[in-house]
Amino acid sequence: MRVIAPDQLTMGWSERVGPRRYAARVADVVDLVRALEVDRPVWIVAQDWGGAIAMGVAVDHPELVAGLVLSNTGIAVPEGRRSPWLIRLAATFGVHRVATRDTALFVRGTGWLSGRRLTRAQRKGLALPYRTRASRKAVSEFVADVPFDDRHPSAATIASVADRVSALCVPVRLVWGSRDPVFNDDFAEDLRRRIPHAELHRIGTAGHLAVLETSVAPSVEAAIAEARHVAPDDRSAETGVRPMWFEVLQKASLSTLAVSDAAADESATHAEFADRVARYATALSERSVKPGDRLAVLVPPSIDLLAVVYACWRIGAVTVVADRGLGLRGLGAAVRSARVAHVVGPGRAIAAARTLRWAPGAQMLSLASMSGAAPAGGLAGLGLPEPHPCDPAAVVFTSGATGPAKGVRYTHGQLCAQRDALRAMYGIGADDRFVAAFAPFAVFGPALGMVTGLADMDVTAPATLTAKALDDACSRIGATMVFASPAALANVVRTASGPLTALAGVRLVMSAGAPVPIDTLRAVGRLCPSAALRTPYGMTEVLPVADISLPDREAVGGGRGVCVGRPVPGCEVRIVSAEHTDGLAQRANGVTGEVTVRTPWMSDGYDRLWLTQERARPMDSATGHTWHRTGDVGHLDEQGNLWIEGRVQHVIHTPNGPVTPVPLEVIAESVHDVARAAAVGIGPVGVQQVVIVVETERRDHQQSRRVSFVPAGSALAAALRAALAPQSIAAVWTTDALPVDIRHNAKIDRTALGSTMERLLSGSSR
CB distance 90 to 189 below 8 Å: no
CB distance 264 to 456 below 8 Å: no
The whole-number pLDDT of residue 205 equals 87
Examine residue 487 and state whether it is found in any structural domain, yes or no. Answer: no
CB distance 682 to 761 below 8 Å: yes
Chosen domain end from 378, 393, 411:
411
Give the model's confidence band at 703: pLDDT under 50 very low, under 70 low, under 90 confident, else very high.
Answer: very low
- Give per-residue pLDDT as tens, 366-383: 999 998 777 888 899 888
The whole-number pLDDT of residue 235 equals 44
Cα distance between residue 396 and residue 673, in whole Å: 39
List b or e across 170-192, with b for residues whose CB sees 16 or more CB atoms inside 10 angstroms: bbbbbbbbbbbebbbbbbbbbbb
Question: Amino acid identity of 167?
Answer: A
- Give per-residue pLDDT as tens, 159-213: 999 999 999 989 999 999 999 999 999 999 999 999 999 999 999 889 999 989 9
Q: Is the dihedral of CA 743, 746, 750, 752 positive or negative?
A: positive
The contacts of residue 403 (CB under 8 Å, 6+ apart) are: none
Cα distance between residue 513 and residue 483, in whole Å: 11
Q: Is the pLDDT confidence value at 86 over 80?
A: no
- Give per-residue pLDDT as tens, 57-74: 999 999 999 999 999 999
- Provide, for the chain, the percentages of residues in helix, strand and coil under a 3-state DSSP scheme, each rounded to the nearest 5: 35, 20, 40
Whether residues 108 and 186 share a domain: the answer is: yes
**Average pLDDT over every residue of 261-266:** 96
| 645 vs 622, higher pLDDT | 645
Cα distance between residue 587 and residue 120, in whole Å: 45
Neighbour tally for 149: CB within 10 Å: 7
Q: Which of 317, 227, 541, 297 is nearest to 407 (CA)?
A: 541
Under DSSP, is residue 201 helix (H, G, I), strand (E, B) or coil?
strand
Cα distance between residue 603 and residue 627, in whole Å: 11
Examine residue 455 and state whether it is found in any structural domain, yes or no. Answer: no
For the ranges 8-12, 638-642, 746-750, the one whose mean pLDDT is highest: 638-642
Q: Is the dihedral of CA 164, 166, 170, 174 positive or negative?
A: positive
Cα distance between residue 334 and residue 540, in whole Å: 14
By CB atoms closer than 10 A (0-12, 13-18, 19+), residue 497 is exposed
Phi and psi torsions of 193, nearest 5°: -70, -40
The whole-number pLDDT of residue 24 equals 95
Whether residues 635 and 733 share a domain: the answer is: no
Whether residues 629 and 659 share a domain: the answer is: no
Whether residues 638 and 685 share a domain: the answer is: no
Instruction: Look up the CATH number of the domain holding residue 715.
Output: 3.30.300.30
Chosen domain end from 646, 667, 698:
646
The conformation of residue 455, written as its DSSP 8-state character, comes to -
Examine residue 593 and state whether it is found in any structural domain, yes or no. Answer: yes
Whether residues 715 and 610 share a domain: the answer is: no
The whole-number pLDDT of residue 687 equals 96
Structural element, H or E, at residue 478: none
Whether residues 631 and 659 share a domain: the answer is: no
- Give per-residue pLDDT as tens, 136-145: 998 898 888 8
Neighbour tally for 356: CB within 10 Å: 14
Length of the chain: 766
The whole-number pLDDT of residue 91 equals 78
The whole-number pLDDT of residue 236 equals 46
Cα distance between residue 465 and residue 744, in whole Å: 12
Q: Is the pLDDT confidence value at 237 over 60?
A: no
Cα distance between residue 114 and residue 692, in whole Å: 38
Cα distance between residue 127 and residue 120, in whole Å: 11
- Give per-residue pLDDT as tens, 598-616: 999 999 999 999 999 988 9
The whole-number pLDDT of residue 704 equals 44
**Average pLDDT over every residue of 220-248:** 68
Examine residue 489 and state whether it is found in any structural domain, yes or no. Answer: no
Q: Is the pLDDT confidence value at 233 over 50?
A: no
Neighbour tally for 288: CB within 10 Å: 10
Instruction: Look up the CATH number of the domain holding residue 563.
Output: 2.30.38.10
Strand-pair partners of 566: 547
Q: Which of these ranges, 94-103, 164-173, 557-566, 592-601, has the smallest mean pLDDT?
A: 94-103
Cα distance between residue 486 and residue 437, in whole Å: 11
The contacts of residue 658 (CB under 8 Å, 6+ apart) are: 592, 651, 652
Whether residues 42 and 101 share a domain: the answer is: yes
The contacts of residue 519 (CB under 8 Å, 6+ apart) are: none
How many domains does the chain contain in total? 4
The whole-number pLDDT of residue 560 equals 93
Range of the domain at 586: 545-646
Whether residues 620 and 710 share a domain: the answer is: no
Phi and psi torsions of 77, nearest 5°: -80, 125
Q: Which of these ranges, 14-18, 93-97, 158-162, 274-278, has the smallest mean pLDDT?
A: 93-97
Whether residues 729 and 751 share a domain: the answer is: yes
Q: Compute and round to an integer the Cα radius of gyration of the chain.
A: 29
Q: Is the pLDDT confidence value at 38 over 60?
A: yes
CB distance 302 to 262 below 8 Å: no
| 570 vs 225, higher pLDDT | 570
| 133 vs 399, higher pLDDT | 133
Strand-pair partners of 396: 321, 408
Question: Amino acid identity of 354?
Answer: R
Cα distance between residue 48 and residue 54, in whole Å: 10
Q: Is the pLDDT confidence value at 648 over 70?
A: yes
Q: Are strands 532-534 and 481-483 parallel, antiparallel or unpaired?
A: unpaired
Cα distance between residue 143 and residue 105, in whole Å: 13
Q: Is the pLDDT confidence value at 153 over 80?
A: yes
**Average pLDDT over every residue of 144-158:** 91
The whole-number pLDDT of residue 581 equals 60
Whether residues 166 and 304 share a domain: the answer is: no
Neighbour tally for 563: CB within 10 Å: 25
Question: Amino acid identity of 247?
Answer: E
Above pLDDT 90, what percent of the chain?
Answer: 69
- Give per-residue pLDDT as tens, 281-304: 999 999 999 999 999 999 999 999
Q: Is the pLDDT confidence value at 150 over 50?
A: yes
Cα distance between residue 524 and residue 507, in whole Å: 12
CB distance 621 to 184 below 8 Å: no
The whole-number pLDDT of residue 582 equals 64
Q: Which of 348, 377, 259 is nearest to 308 (CA)?
A: 259
By CB atoms closer than 10 A (0-12, 13-18, 19+), residue 696 is middle
The whole-number pLDDT of residue 492 equals 95
Chosen domain end from 411, 437, 461:
411
**Average pLDDT over every residue of 454-480:** 91
The whole-number pLDDT of residue 745 equals 61
Examine residue 33 and state whether it is found in any structural domain, yes or no. Answer: yes
Q: Which of these ranges, 241-255, 295-309, 574-588, has the smallest mean pLDDT?
A: 574-588
**Average pLDDT over every residue of 426-447:** 91
Q: Is the dihedral of CA 203, 206, 209, 210 positive or negative?
A: negative
Under DSSP, is residue 65 helix (H, G, I), strand (E, B) or coil?
strand
* C-alpha distance across the termini of the chain, in Å: 48
The whole-number pLDDT of residue 229 equals 40
Q: Is the dihedral of CA 660, 663, 664, 665 positive or negative?
A: positive
Q: Is the pLDDT confidence value at 709 over 70?
A: yes
* pTM listed for this prediction: 0.85
Q: Is the pLDDT confidence value at 353 over 60?
A: yes
What distance separates the 2 farthest-apart alpha carbons in the chain? Answer: 89
Examine residue 599 and state whether it is found in any structural domain, yes or no. Answer: yes
Cα distance between residue 486 and residue 516, in whole Å: 5
CB distance 549 to 532 below 8 Å: yes
Q: Which of these ranges, 109-118, 136-145, 388-397, has the smallest mean pLDDT?
A: 109-118
- Give per-residue pLDDT as tens, 214-224: 888 888 888 88
Q: Which of 542, 743, 742 is nearest to 642 (CA)?
A: 542
Whether residues 610 and 728 share a domain: the answer is: no
String of DSSP letters for 713-748: PHHHHHHHHHHHTTS--SEEEEES---B-TTTS-SB
For the ranges 116-125, 456-465, 699-708, the one whose mean pLDDT is highest: 116-125
> How many helices (H) and strands (E) in the chain?
27, 31
Q: Is the pLDDT confidence value at 264 over 90?
A: yes
CB distance 600 to 571 below 8 Å: no
The whole-number pLDDT of residue 230 equals 43
Cα distance between residue 704 and residue 42, in whole Å: 55
Instruction: Look up the CATH number of the domain holding residue 194.
Output: 3.40.50.1820
Cα distance between residue 525 and residue 34, in whole Å: 74
Whether residues 120 and 53 share a domain: the answer is: yes
Examine residue 602 and state whether it is found in any structural domain, yes or no. Answer: yes
Instruction: Look up the CATH number of the domain holding residue 392.
Output: 3.40.50.980
CA distances from 743 to 218, 375, 543 (A): 31, 38, 17
The whole-number pLDDT of residue 748 equals 87
Examine residue 430 and state whether it is found in any structural domain, yes or no. Answer: no
SS3 of 386-453 = CCCCCCEEEEEECCCCCCCCCEEEEEHHHHHHHHHHHHHHHCCCCCCEEEECCHHHHCHHHHCCCEEE
CB distance 635 to 575 below 8 Å: yes
Average pLDDT, the chain: 90
